[in-house]
Amino acid sequence: MQEAFDWLKPSPFWAPNGADLSQGTFYRPAILDYATDDFVEAFLAEAGAPSADSLARRALRNSSEEPFKLYQPAHGRFYLLCATLSCRQPGLPDREVRLAEKESTYYVLRRVTGNGEYGWIAEGAQAGWQPVGPNPRVVLTGEERQPMFRAPTGTQRELRYAYIPTTSRDSGLGDLSDLPAEVIETVIGEPPPPDDLRLFALESRFLAQVQPSSGTSPLLEADAANAQRLSIYLLLDLLDYVDTFLPATAQHLAGDTTVAITAAESALLTFLASTAALSGTTSLRVLLENVAAHRVTLDELGEEELPAPFDGAAYNLAGRTLDEAQWESTVHAALTSVDAATGRTKPQSSLPQIQPESGEQYLIRCVYERPQCEKVKAWVSHPTEHFSLAPLYDPDAPARSINIALPSDLSLGSLRKFQKGATFIMSQALRDKLKQIPLIKMTDDDADVSGLSLSYICSFSIPIITICAFILLLIIVIVLNFVFWWLPFLKICFPIPKAAE
């Protein structure tokens, strides 16, 4: 006889004598709502109590056509998935999960659209939300799984529960090129980047710094000394880029020409020696080769002067020109050739979390997996009630209570009694910088001691720092009020009666 199992609502919620056995909700896992940081301990205590009343009150139910929202931990809300795994036998006995046979219980999060359910694939070429198909009671290959745990009840049965994370559910781990250009412009606020985001990194880290397409750059705004140092750092950044994406090319720049490279990489090295890569009498390839030979020294430079020849005009990139289109085509060809030769896939990017759209809904299905079985390897539950995920700044979200007590006695006698517990360690270099600000004097004696490099440990009073931070906050809010007009919505103040002092 084939064994069969069912995921049911938590056993403490069952009606006496199986009165609710024929109801659809009997086969629906529950989502429990907690408003305390020790929610797991609270759940275990309530699950083990003789009465299920307090646990049942936490179950979320949709009372309207709109799904309920799950808020974030920042709102002070935490959610647990809870269900009973039973054998399909008279009395619905609990099913014991045989860990020794590699059985497991977990759940999968599904996004619900008009076309059905979508499962979240965390890694690989199919990363992102993928359609489940006509039968939703299956698990996709590579679908993200969240483990479920065992909890005893006060009725000698057991529950299966799991934490439901409510943040970063829509990080969009897909390639930017998969999104329409207008969507990217809306989310990021800029035109869509190149098809290969490695080219976008090249542009932002080097090309746009040397020759910005519009406006200016820190290199062009810096004085001569700082422009020289920034130029060296830009060359180091370019070497880091080549190291990361074209390691064989980087080895050639470092002097090891025995390493095999592709034809496109060889073309890139030739391009680096041309004025299209960088104008000037000394080619960019020569500059990179020299920087690579002294990389350790240049990486460890602090405030010291640049050593020769890196302090010369040949290494100053300010005012130099380059052919951005030829840069992109040449580097793209080299990247593509290395991808093909090594089997490397184009790296994926993580989009900023997009504001959840209205109507976007999710559900959860519990899974009991039995890898040792030949016929049914996974028993997938009916769905939970549909829900949505609230963004961080949801106007309906509850406010987590944060109480910060400011000192009440501000007399000098009281302020001097506060312990100075916030400690800052200042190096000689930082002291030298602070000396350039006339209003700041960190010690009574800022004079240099011949032959010594002095560091200071300065301790500050946290209550006084708190008062200053509070006053600065109010000043900034008031100054910006003429733009935002937000003062009426900033605060609610209640008087607290105290005896006169």
Same-domain check for residues 299 and 382:
no
C-alpha neighbours within 13 Å on the C-beta side of residue 121 = 16
End-to-end CA distance of the chain: 83
In this predicted structure, what is the pLDDT of residue 304?
77
Q: Residue 305: pLDDT above 80?
A: yes
CA angle 314, 315, 320 (to 5 degrees): 80
| Residue 402 domain flag | no
pLDDT tens digits, one per residue of 147-173? 999 999 888 899 999 999 988 644 433
| Residue 394 domain flag | no
Domain that holds residue 462: 412-442+454-490
Q: How confident is the model at residue 411 (pLDDT cuts 50, 70, 90)?
A: confident
In this predicted structure, what is the pLDDT of residue 160?
95
Q: Residue 451: pLDDT above 60?
A: no
- Return the minimum-mean-pLDDT range out of 55-59, 78-82, 436-440: 436-440
Q: How confident is the model at residue 189 (pLDDT cuts 50, 70, 90)?
A: very low
- Return the minimum-mean-pLDDT range out of 79-83, 187-191, 449-453: 187-191
Instruction: Select the more confidently predicted residue: 258 or 177.
Output: 258
Q: Residue 472: pLDDT above 50?
A: yes
Task: Please state the rounded mean pLDDT for residues 130-136.
Answer: 92
| Residue 399 domain flag | no
Q: How confident is the model at residue 394 (pLDDT cuts 50, 70, 90)?
A: confident
Task: Please state the rounded mean pLDDT for residues 101-108.
Answer: 94
The number of beta carbons lying within 10 Å of the beta carbon of residue 244 is 12
| Residue 61 domain flag | yes
pLDDT tens digits, one per residue of 262-279? 999 999 999 999 999 999
In this predicted structure, what is the pLDDT of residue 416?
82
Same-domain check for residues 180 and 328:
yes
Same-domain check for residues 378 and 293:
no
In this predicted structure, what is the pLDDT of residue 351?
42
| Residue 349 domain flag | no
In Å, how far are 52, 107, 272, 279, 394 from 275, measured between CA atoms? 78, 58, 8, 5, 53
- Best CA proximity match to 207, nearest among 219, 225, 192: 219
Same-domain check for residues 231 and 109:
no
Q: How confident is the model at residue 180 (pLDDT cuts 50, 70, 90)?
A: very low
**Averaged pLDDT of the chain:** 84
In this predicted structure, what is the pLDDT of residue 501?
59
| Residue 288 domain flag | yes
Highest mean pLDDT among 62-76, 324-338, 444-458, 480-494: 324-338
In this predicted structure, what is the pLDDT of residue 192?
44
Same-domain check for residues 198 and 293:
yes
In this predicted structure, what is the pLDDT of residue 348?
56
Give the pairing type, strands 387-389 and 68-70. Answer: parallel
| Residue 219 domain flag | yes
Highest mean pLDDT among 83-97, 196-210, 213-227: 83-97
Task: Please state the rounded mean pLDDT for residues 325-330.
Answer: 94
Task: Please state the rounded mean pLDDT for residues 443-466.
Answer: 69
Q: Residue 67: pLDDT above 90?
A: no
Same-domain check for residues 262 and 363:
no
pTM reported for the whole predicted model: 0.64
Phi/psi class of residue 142: alpha, beta or left (left: φ > 0; alpha: ψ in -120 to 50)? left
Q: Residue 27: pLDDT above 90?
A: yes
In Å, how far are 82, 222, 246, 320, 430 from 230, measured between CA atoms? 57, 9, 23, 14, 20
- Return the minimum-mean-pLDDT range out of 253-267, 331-345, 408-422: 408-422
Q: Residue 175: pLDDT above 50?
A: no
Q: Residue 22: pLDDT above 50?
A: yes
Query: 3-class DSSP state for residue 424?
Result: strand
Q: How confident is the model at residue 186 (pLDDT cuts 50, 70, 90)?
A: very low
Sign of the Cα torsion 121, 124, 128, 130 reads negative
Task: Please state the rounded mean pLDDT for residues 178-203.
Answer: 57
Same-domain check for residues 200 and 122:
no
Query: 3-class DSSP state for residue 128?
Result: strand
Same-domain check for residues 180 and 295:
yes
Q: How many domains does the chain have?
A: 3
Same-domain check for residues 121 and 17:
yes
Backbone angles phi, psi at 172, to 5 degrees: 65, 60
Same-domain check for residues 120 and 268:
no
Task: Please state the rounded mean pLDDT for residues 473-493.
Answer: 88
| Residue 253 domain flag | yes
CB-based contacts of 77: which residues, under 8 Å, 6+ apart? 33, 34, 35, 70, 71, 166, 398
Q: How confident is the model at residue 358 (pLDDT cuts 50, 70, 90)?
A: low
Q: How confident is the model at residue 215 (pLDDT cuts 50, 70, 90)?
A: confident
Same-domain check for residues 461 and 381:
no
Same-domain check for residues 275 and 372:
no
